[in-house]
Structure 1
Amino acid sequence: MKKRMLVLENGVTFTGKAFGSTKETHGEVVFNTSMTGYQEMMSDPSYCDQILTLTYPLIGNYGINRDDFESITPYIKGLIVKSASVHPSHFRSKVTLDEWLKANNIPGLMGIDTRKLTRMIREHGTMKGKFCDLDADVEQVANTLQSQSFPKTQVAHVSTKTRYVTPASGKRVVLIDYGAKKGIIKDLNHLGFEVIVVPYNTSAEDVMALSPDGVMLSNGPGDPEDIPESVETVKELMGLVPIFGICLGHQLLALASGARTEKMRFGHRGGNHPVKDLRTGKVAITSQNHGYTVNPRSVSETDLEITHINVNDQSVEGLSHSIHPAFSVQYHPEASPGPEDAKDLFLAFKTLIDTKKPVTKKEGIVHA
């Protein structure tokens, strides 16, 4: 295998073996601590323009199947692993990890010290990085990375361009697609909802013209402040229809209510994040993928109430509006991959729609 290196913007390099595509690539280097679910992670639109580092040492051991994708098109810029399995073993496997990366023109790098890279990101924060050949001028590459800005158009890139329907016999949910995972649609359909998926820049007027019984604000990549038009749309929808926000949708609900968001040092990406419901004391183990968070001090200046916090760092994990029927969580109740402790939040959304009453601190979220 050809040797290549990862160059970080601070000038540190990691040399390993290339697999997948051999094109040069650059992006924000992040890490995920999940032990399984690499297929879902690689196809999650929230990783748009990022180079994904997987901390679990053996990746690709169960291959790639046709069913576990979270989007049709993968948007990651690159993949970093300790070891990539050449001979996967699983009855659903169709191709190897290497074959899938080649087919989607995504470069991979294996054999580097992923533990050291992860510790560096945790200490210094996420950094821009680039896959290069060994003869590249490291100083020049690092200087170029330092001068580059993070892209601000990821949501426009990953969002559906036209609206579409996944039919069912129940009530109607309009899902605003900021980079929605397939798992969200599956869970809404499972509860009997007809789901109409619309582009991220759909106006509140056009959303309401579809006669929704509820509106879902999806996950997605990047900084929520990069899509101010979406913040305005959410603001206009507040009070008109029950709203449930997930991940980026949670941040947009916060901004629309007057709270503020901020970038985290290295974000939360993994399937083992403990989240406490402040109303019940119950702790759920959750799947997460985000680099931004809601500033907790700013929530006190709004009609929002903090309903959930992260047990590890006390960051805001859930919000509920005290006046309007709207709530949100920073984590992924649909998981995919990850634990399913928080699946009952979809039932809470259904209850909100059926009763058209806000989820308040006093009433709490209905648990299955």
Structure 2
Amino acid sequence: MLVLEDGQTFEGRPYGALGETLGEIVFNTGMTGYQETLTDPSYHRQIVVMTAPHIGNTGVNDEDDESRRIWVAGYVVRDPARRPSNWRATRSLEEDLEAQGIVGISGIDTRQLTRILRTAGVMRAGIFSGENLPGDDALVAKVREAAPMAGAHLADEVSADEAYEVPAVGEEVAHVVAVDLGIKAMTPAQMAERGIRVTVVPATASAGDILDRDPDGVFFSNGPGDPAAAERAVATLREVLDARVPFFGICFGNQILGRALGYGTYKLQFGHRGINQPVMDRTTGKVEITAHNHGFAVDAPLEGESASPHGYGRVRVSHVCLNDDVVEGLECLDVPAFSVQYHPEAAAGPHDASYLFDRFLDLMKGARQ
């Protein structure tokens, strides 16, 4: 049974582990890349609904994981593949779900469910499987007791326990300290390909911990939870901005920059999740197809330049979502900092926005000069 907070229920077949799970239910519009979605730490405590009807056909391999485990709280698909068919597959998707204890459900009308979430907004939900399940009223009550995503501080739960290093590929041209708020493996890999040595530090790292490593730049990663609850990360970033060390943030890192500059954040009705979201880069006028995974956004003026409420000079919205005008990027004009709400490191794709890592490298070179 899939049970929504508003009392609606769906009956299907178990997919993955048997048991029960609770979380915020969201939908992902990507037609490929389910392995990367499942292992993205930003989905911690979320039940993910795949809008693509056929999931699992390419199986699972050992190369495409974005982190050390599957992070989704639960998984909802319409038609799971009966068997994987791909030369890179080493096991089926359901085998991975079972092995990692991820409770899922299949065989339900995910199109109907997506329409509900687009109309009513994302909400708490639960998946329950096994024998002798209690009645619907009891299951709905259990779902309503679950913690909401608003106000949740989750970065510490997904971050690395200790620092580690990703060496530059070829000649080293810069050193970046990346704060792991839920980082995906492809992010330091993209930097390393550009000759950047990356030191990844836990979410609990202080500004002193970061700056004592004498970085050419500082990076804040994607991650789960409500940016309004991330007071420590915001305070840390302000110290980095005060030190005028070049900064780049992705997704949660964009929201943290927004708050550090003094802007607010808010929860989106149903969020942006998928690999097919159109974003305009206002610097070039180019429209990019991009990968998204966020349920919160920055509340900053869309037109022209605005003054940072916390005194960091002029700021402009550098990128905007063409579906709903949500802020998709910030650029500081008086301190060396910028960020984007989406994922330029996207795996399985698209790769339209990978130039942003080059922009970060140019920012660091310019600051050094």
AA aligned to 1:289 is N
Amino acid across the alignment from 2:61: N
Determine the structure 2 residue equivalent to 1:139: 137
Map residues 1-368 of structure 1 onto 2, 5 A cutoff. Answer: 5-133=1-129, 135-150=133-148, 152-168=152-168, 169-238=172-241, 239-297=243-301, 300-302=306-308, 303-356=314-367
How far does residue 240 in structure 1 lie from its aligned partner after superposition?
2.5
Partner secondary structure for residue 12 of structure 2: strand
Amino acid at match of 2:94: D
Please tell me the residue identity of whatever aligns with 1:146: R
> Which residue identity lines up with residue 144 of structure 2 in the other structure?
Q
- TM-score (ref. length: structure 2): 0.93
Q: Give me the whole-angstrom Cα distance separating, in 2, the residues matched to 1:180 and 1:132.
A: 30
Distance 1:209 1:99 in 2: 44
- In the other structure, the counterpart of 1:363 is none
Letter in 1 for 2:26: V
Q: Determine helix, strand or coil for the equivalent of 2:182.
A: coil
* TM-score, reference length from structure 1: 0.93
- Give the residue type in structure 1 aligned to 2:321: N
Report the CA distance between 1:320 and its aligned residue. Answer: 0.5
Once the two structures are superposed, what CA deviation does each residue of 1:19-42 show, in whole Å capped at 9, x if it has no partner? 210021111100100000000000
Count of aligned residue pairs for this structure pair: 354
Contact persistence 1:286–1:342 (CA under 8 A): yes
List structure 1 runs of 4+ shifted beyond 4 angstroms. none
Percent same amino acid among aligned pairs? 43
Distance 1:222 1:26 in 2: 15
Kindly state the Cα deviation for residue 147 of structure 1 after the two structures are TM-superposed: 3.8
Shift of 1:275: 0.6
Cα pair 1:6 1:14 within 8 Å, conserved: yes
User: SS state of the match for residue 300, structure 1?
Assistant: strand
Q: Does the aligned pair in 2 maintain the 1:235–1:256 contact within 8 Å?
A: yes
Deviations along 1:56-94, whole A, 9 cap, x unmatched?
A: 011000100110000012211111000111211111100
Q: How far apart, in 2, do the equivalents of 1:260 and 1:297 lie?
A: 11
Q: Give the superposition deviation at 1:142.
A: 1.7
Answer with 276-285 or 114-123: which moved more: 276-285
Cα deviation 1:142-200 (Å, max 9, x = unaligned): 23322432262421100111011112233110000000001101101100111100011
Query: Any idea what SS the aligned residue of 1:206 has?
Result: helix
Q: Residue deviations 1:276-296, cap 9 Å, x none?
A: 122321111100000000113
Q: Is the 8 A contact 2:22 2:146 kept in 1?
A: no
Q: Deviations over 1:100-149 (max 9, x none)?
A: 11111111110000000000000011011111247322122223322432
Separation in 2 of the partners of 1:96 and 1:354?
45
Contact 1:86 1:96 in 2 (8 A): no
Alpha-carbon contact 2:3-2:143 (below 8 Å) kept? no
* Distance of 1:167 and 1:202 partners within structure 2: 20
Query: How far apart are the structure 1 equivalents of 2:148 and 2:266?
Result: 15
User: Separation in 2 of the partners of 1:119 and 1:288?
Assistant: 19
- C-alpha distance in structure 2 between counterparts of 1:148 and 1:35, whole Å: 30
RMSD: 1.6
Measured in 2, the distance between the counterparts of 1:210 and 1:331 equals 28
Give the letter for the 2:221 counterpart.
S
Unaligned runs of 5+ in 2: 309-313
Question: C-alpha separation between the residues in 2 aligned to 1:27 and 1:261?
Answer: 21
